[in-house]
Amino acid sequence: MSARIFFLWLAGLAFAAAAPTDNILPARFCTISDEEDAKCQAMKTNFADRSLTPGIECIRGVDKYSCMQMIEEREADLLSCWSMDGYVAGKYHHLIPLLQEKHTTEPGWSYAYYAMAVVRKDDDSIHSLEDLRGKRSCHTGINRHVGWAYPVSQLNRRGLLQGGSCVNNIANVANFFNKSCVSGAKNPIWDPKGEYSNLCALCGGQGDTFCSASDPYASYTGSLKCILDGRGDVAFIKDTTFGEVIAERPEVANQKENYELLCLDGTRKPVDSFKECNWGTIPERVLMTSPQLSESQKTAIRNMFSLAQQDQEAFKLFDSSAYNGRHLLFHDNTKSLEDVGDKNDYEKYLGDYMQVKNHQFVCQVPAIRWCTISTVETKKCYRMRDALTARFVKPDVECVQANNTNECMQLIKENKADVIDLDGGDIYKGGKEYDLQVIMNENLVNGDAKYWGVAVVKKANADITYQTLKGKKSCHTAIGRSAGWNIPVGSLLSSGQITTPPDCNIAEAVGGFFNASCAPGALSAQFNPSGQNPQSLCSLCAGTGDNKCARNENEPFFGYTGAFKCMATGVGDVAFVKHVTPIDNTDGHNEDSWAKDLHLSDFELLCKDGSRKSPNDYETCNLAKVPSHAIVTQETKDAAEINRIEYLLDLGQFYYGEKKPNNFHLFSSGQGSKDLLFSDSTKSIKSVPEERRQYRKYLGDIADVYDKINDQGCQH
């Protein structure tokens, strides 16, 4: 038995002696992919076979941020995090470190890696951080830890980066250094006006690779090669980078002594002295848990993993190759799990990383307060906040929950919230009654910022046409919304099928036209102030108690998917939705139990000429084409405030706009929910020009239709 295994065996015995096993429940490991779940299930079986207690259960989350929520709410127990996510887990979900992953067996090594600044030994002009001003710098890439965040924070702490933006450091860095290679800096997300080309001046790529992640001077090894090739005066790398470059260029081994580390106090040391001379430490990955876990439970979990890792042949904790993945549950380079000791809260554990987070920007700005209308939407808002925080995105996001869009609009008007994403009908109301303006809009397929409102029926119900809707059962996204209410009601008014009543109560007329309906919100105080709206407008709704016919996610038939579900499950005869809704909920695109076996060919659209067509023919068979959903804010917001909101969301879609497995996705709500924060059919969001931000200018001619449906608009 080796000395190391003997030590682990003794440690296991010590843990076992300290851990009572009565009433200790299995540790619930949160997983975020099929591959991770497969490894977790194999670990569960192996631990049971080896009688390792308290054992493992595997709990599936949507992504790592949903796992943090689940642990906070005591629905799971364990999640392994890198520093950026450990910060989020601790700050926002109050999780604590339990076990740290150790990537080396070298005694005294406490960190994953060290951030270093390398200079040429024969360059006598650099003896302080101030001396770096005007020098040529080599970085791993924009917004990366060692090559950007760590040096930026150290320069900021010393007041060396002045002026510029409070949310984007690119101007500050470009003005500090003379020339640089910062791969990715040419992206319009960071440099929208192309003002800071000096940040790419030292890069060496050709064509599309120039100043990209594929540039020869990108990443850790690229940054070091940049100074080795004489392009830069300082290179920001980590402690293993010299070894990685030597593996590619063996001759560099003989050149190593020609370089030194620049320490934060201005002294210089040999490149192997990084433990004494570095710009910060990056902590190891850490297994985090809830502070509500009992001491006996935590001890039992530590004991279990301590015993489990003694025999890596019995189960390879730190190898994911058998499960077709990498770094599943733990990092594949991990050598052991060890107690965190006195670093038992996230701030202590993260150490230098806390300073990096706290000094990343030269000034502070208020958080953007996003208004949500349901608990499930608030949870997605928290996940968005978490994902953006982990990427150093500013401003921060705060989530403010209301009961419906009307309450949100009031909160924004009162400056108690800042933004919400609304459909055209609510944009009309928000501009008219709450003084809101449009600042960004959703784009659907091919960047189109408009969509078609359509009427969908089952193909089998062949007797239903646009002209025979009277007396049928109708499913609406919500009262007052575009595709689900304003467009079909306006169309039926224009065709004469519905007549405006003397008291101008359009809802009463709609209730008299259809036999029964689900129009969420139709009986709420906001849309039924006189109490005259027919009960039939909510009779088909599926919510229970106060949630029946609620104008939010608590009503199962709310929104596009809800209205389609209402019709597709046979509750209603016709659903008024947007053109992508039938496509998004059939042929396997929606995995919910009610939708997974539906086929697009089983549905048809009602055309205004009385014909019916396939849902794919929405361009020639629709009720109207209307502007897409859009993000609104106070009319009084100045340009700087609007720019910060736009920047936040531009970075949000830069990092999370593309749907990737097991990752947070800005435009996806997850199984069982739809259209949270944004429409799930959104492909991107785009700034609205200043001249179109007023609500009528954004809505265009369709605003006239909304006038006719609005109570005041029908007065003669």
pLDDT digits (tens, 9 = 90+) for 667-690: 999 888 899 999 998 999 999 999
- CATH 3.40.190.10 holds for 450-627: yes
Query: Which residue(s) pair with 83 in the sheet?
Result: none
Could you tell me the CA-to-CA distances from 354 to 90, 154, 282, 359, 415 in Å, in that order?
Answer: 11, 12, 10, 9, 31
Asked if CATH classification 3.40.228.10 holds for the domain at 368-447+634-711, the reply, yes or no, is no
- The pLDDT of 461-466, averaged and rounded, is 96
- What is the second-level CATH architecture of the domain 27-108+285-352? 3-Layer(aba) Sandwich (3.40)
Which among 54, 46, 93, 50 has a CA at the least distance from the CA of 294? 54
Distance CA 171, CA 149 (A): 14
Contacts of 153 (CB under 8 A, 6+ apart): 280, 355, 356, 357, 358, 359, 360
Q: What is the pLDDT of residue 1?
A: 42
CB 374 within 8 A of CB 554: yes
pLDDT band at 107 (very low <50, low <70, confident <90, very high): confident
Rounded to whole angstroms, the Cα distance separating 176 from 480 reads 53
Q: Are 487 and 575 in contact (CB under 8 A)?
A: no
For residue 3, the surrounding DSSP H or E stretch is helix 3-18
Say how far apart CA 76 and CA 30 lie, in whole Å.
Answer: 6
pLDDT score at 22: 54
Considering the chain, what is the average pLDDT of its residues? Answer: 93
pLDDT tens digit string along 575-622?
999 999 999 999 999 989 999 999 999 999 999 999 999 999 999 999
* Average pLDDT estimate for 535-543: 97
Annotated binding site for Fe(3+): which residue ranges?
Answer: 113, 220, 423, 451, 560, 629
Residue type, 585: N
Q: Quick one: tokens of 121?
A: 């030994």
Q: Residue 628: which residues within 8 A CB-CB, separation 6 or more? A: 424, 441, 442, 443, 444, 448, 449, 450, 451, 679
User: What is the amino acid identity at position 704?
Assistant: D
For range 376-395, the mean pLDDT:
96
Which parts are annotated binding residues for hydrogencarbonate?
140, 144, 147, 477, 481, 483-484
641 pLDDT band, cuts 50/70/90, is very high
Q: What is the C-alpha separation between 649 and 443, in angstroms, rounded? A: 14
Number of CB atoms found within 10 A of residue 240's CB: 13
What confidence score (pLDDT) does residue 11 get?
A: 44
CB neighbourhood size of 358 (10 A): 11
Reduced to 3 states, what is the DSSP secondary structure of residue 640? Answer: helix
Q: What is the DSSP letter of 486?
A: I
Q: Are 602 and 460 within 8 A, CB to CB?
A: yes
The terminus-to-terminus CA distance of the chain in angstroms comes to 95
Q: Per-residue DSSP letters for 74-141?
A: TS--BEEE-HHHHHHHHHHH--EEEEEEES---TT--EEEEEEEEEETT-TT-SSSGGGTT-EEE-S-
d(CA 140, CA 494) in angstroms, rounded, equals 61
Strand order in the sheet with 286-289: 79-81, 286-289, 96-102, 336-339
pLDDT in tens, 282-333: 999 999 999 999 999 999 999 999 999 999 899 999 999 999 999 999 999 9
Per-residue pLDDT, 712:
44
* Interatomic CA distance for residues 103 and 80, integer angstroms: 14
What is the spatial distance between Cα 491 and Cα 470, in angstroms, rounded to a whole number? 13
> Among 139-148, 521-530, 656-665, which stretch is predicted with the lowest mean pLDDT?
656-665
Partners of 29 in beta bridges? 58, 78
Region 442-452: mean pLDDT is 82
Q: What is the model's pLDDT at position 679?
A: 93
pLDDT number for residue 711: 56
Model confidence over 183-211: pLDDT tens digits?
999 999 999 899 999 999 999 999 999 99
Which residues define the annotated binding site?
Answer: 113, 140, 144, 147, 220, 423, 451, 477, 481, 483-484, 560, 629
Task: List every span in the chain annotated with CATH 3.40.190.10.
Answer: 27-108+285-352, 111-282, 368-447+634-711, 450-627
Give the pLDDT score at 447. Answer: 67
Question: How crowded is residue 499: how many other Cβ atoms within 10 Å of its Cβ?
Answer: 11
Q: What is the pLDDT of residue 446?
A: 67
**Predicted pLDDT of residue 279:** 97
Q: Are 594 and 568 in contact (CB under 8 A)?
A: yes
State the Cα–Cα distance between residues 397 and 375, nearest whole angstrom. 17
Say if CB 202 and CB 232 are below 8 A apart. Answer: yes
Amino acid at 600: L
pLDDT in tens, 124-172: 999 999 999 999 999 999 999 999 999 999 999 999 998 778 999 999 9
Q: Which CATH architecture has domain 111-282?
A: 3-Layer(aba) Sandwich (3.40)
